Structure 1
Amino acid sequence: MRMLNKADIRHIYQPMWNLDGWKVFGYEALMRISNRANTEIENVFIEARMKGQLFELDTIAIESAIRHFPLHILEEGLLFINFFPSTLMDERFLTFVMNLIDQYSIRSENIVFELNETIEEEHIWNLPEFKERMATLRDMGFKVALDDIGKGAATIQKIVEFSPDYIKLDRYFSENLSTSKEKQEMITLLIEYAKQKMGLILEGIETDVDLAYAKMIHVPVVQGYLLGRPQRMDEPSGLSMKALSF
């Protein structure tokens, strides 16, 4: 496969909802490849890593996520963008980010970088320089999130050591939440820990009853198909940060 360029990549966006007031909290940018409907995004990044082009692809994807999003609608909302730890460690990354700020007039406080966890990059989390790079990014005003909490074996340790601005609970916790006392109790414990420290977002909400239980146990923010499918932001229904009535 040839190296993808800007014209090959587009993004769709899925809303996250604040359950206190039913208002859009932010959007997660999800990468897609033009004219390749059946292409697995994960495989594209695996191939880029094998070819030594992961940084190039990751930064093209970050730029695309910002370029295709109408930043003016964010107001106080957030745009979540995925990237790899190795991208943060690359000496070119901070310059790349500063250029993005200039080019798109970004308000850094509206951008959350979600760190992808992979086996290939597990060693990076243990590097002292990684924590320093993360601190530098946050000093610039950006926020950092840990994704798929509950999926990775060492994730709890990372929450403690890196104290991210947001943690996103894996969809495992949403599935059959209404009938699983164990999941309800675990989420409640994480919510209690996160108070005053970091935001918590529950992914994968797909049924009314699971949404009701999420609200009942005071999950602050949720994301899932029930509340909004990923879509292009040039579609009229995608251009809103207003409250929703249920």
Structure 2
Amino acid sequence: MESIAELFKKKEYYHAFQPICQLPEKSRIGYEVLLRSKAGIHPEALFSLAKENKMLPELDIHSLHHALSTFFHSSLEHKNELLFVNIFPSTIIEDTFPGFIQKIARSFRPFLTQIVLEINESIMEGECWSEPIFTRRIAELKKMGFLIALDDVGDGANIFSKIEDISPDYIKIDRFFSQELSSSLEKQKTVKLFVDFCKDAPQLILEGVEEEEDFACASFLGVAIGQGYLFGKPGSLPDE
């Protein structure tokens, strides 16, 4: 069986980059990097399979390193932009994680304040949040200069306690809330709740924006940053 590192070298696994834009101007502030496979396996299925085979931390770590290398070793204007990279809580609490992240910090030291680690809030990772080492390591990452985003935020009862636990720099609202936002008063109320909550910090990002009317509604509600097909589909970097 080929190692995950070899699969990246052969481009069996690769990354797509989706723009993240300031509202209402639609000016790009960075990208989210998304893992893809040449075989067309859905990313969630890919990560679930890796978890079943106890290879999730290895996949996560190689994906992070490959994404940073692709982005920051390319040559054009996005070197000054943010890069949002997904990482699982179970990877962060791994014994090998501190050594790995120190290597990342040395290799990409000029860019640390442009790297936003998106903490996945999936149900299968829920137990990791209660581990004391998890919040300690998040604090260490922030001290090193990394930025932190809480990903796929919904309206769960414990979401505000999670925000308090890790003090993220960004909160990304799940795409559910952007779909038909302009015609749903309930979704508008929820989005406005987060807008008001994030008035000072952290910064709010609405995911899954696809229609002009939902973009206009999000801007009216005070959402400052958006992501979705309206701003650009995941793909190669402009200079690749």
Same-fold call, TM cutoff 0.5:
yes
Q: Residues 204 and 223 of structure 1 are in contact (CA less than 8 Å); yes or no, is this contact kept in structure 2?
A: yes
Farther off after superposition, 42-51 or 190-199: 42-51
Deviation track 1:145-183 (CA, whole Å, cap 9, x = no partner) reads 111111655323312332211110011111111111221
Q: Structure 2 length as normaliser, TM-score? A: 0.89
Match of 2:150 in 1: 146
Q: Residues 166 and 201 of structure 1 are in contact (CA less than 8 Å); yes or no, is this contact kept in structure 2?
A: yes
Query: What pairs with 1:191-210 in structure 2 (closer than 5 Å)?
Result: 191-210=195-214
Q: What amino acid sits opposite 1:79 in the alignment? A: L
Q: What amino acid sits opposite 1:47 in the alignment? A: L
Deviation track 1:117-164 (CA, whole Å, cap 9, x = no partner) reads 233321111122211110000000001111111165532331233221
Aligned residues: 234
Match of 2:185 in 1: 181
Alpha-carbon separation, structure 1, partners of 2:143 and 2:22: 26
Decide which of 55, 59, 64 is 2:57's aligned counterpart.
55
Q: Structure 1 length as normaliser, TM-score? A: 0.87
Match of 2:115 in 1: 111
Instruction: Give secondary structure in 1 for the equivalent of 2:118.
Output: strand
Q: Structure 1 residues 226, 198: CA separation in 2 closer, same or farther (over 3 Å shift)?
A: same
Q: What's the % identity of the aligned pairs?
A: 38
Query: RMSD of the TM alignment (CA)?
Result: 2.0
Shift of 1:3: 4.3
Shift of 1:94: 2.4
**Higher-RCO chain (CA-CA 8 Å, sequence separation at least 6):** 1
Query: What pairs with 1:1-246 in structure 2 (closer than 5 Å)?
Result: 3-5=3-5, 6-7=8-9, 8-34=12-38, 36-37=39-40, 39-70=41-72, 73-74=77-78, 76-150=80-154, 152=156, 154-233=158-237, 235-236=238-239
Q: Residues 25 and 78 of structure 1 are in contact (CA less than 8 Å); yes or no, is this contact kept in structure 2?
A: yes
Shift of 1:206: 0.6
List 4+ stretches of structure 1 deviating above 4 A: none
Gaps (5+ residues) in structure 2? Answer: none
Alpha-carbon separation, structure 2, partners of 1:106 and 1:31: 24
Q: Structure 1 residues 76, 104: CA separation in 2 closer, same or farther (over 3 Å shift)?
A: closer
Farther off after superposition, 202-211 or 6-15: 6-15
Alpha-carbon separation, structure 1, partners of 2:206 and 2:152: 9
Q: What amino acid sits opposite 1:159 in the alignment? A: I
Match of 1:244 in 2: none
Gaps (5+ residues) in structure 1? Answer: 239-246
Q: What amino acid sits opposite 2:4 in the alignment? A: L
Alpha-carbon separation, structure 2, partners of 1:131 and 1:144: 12
Q: What amino acid sits opposite 1:67 in the alignment? A: S
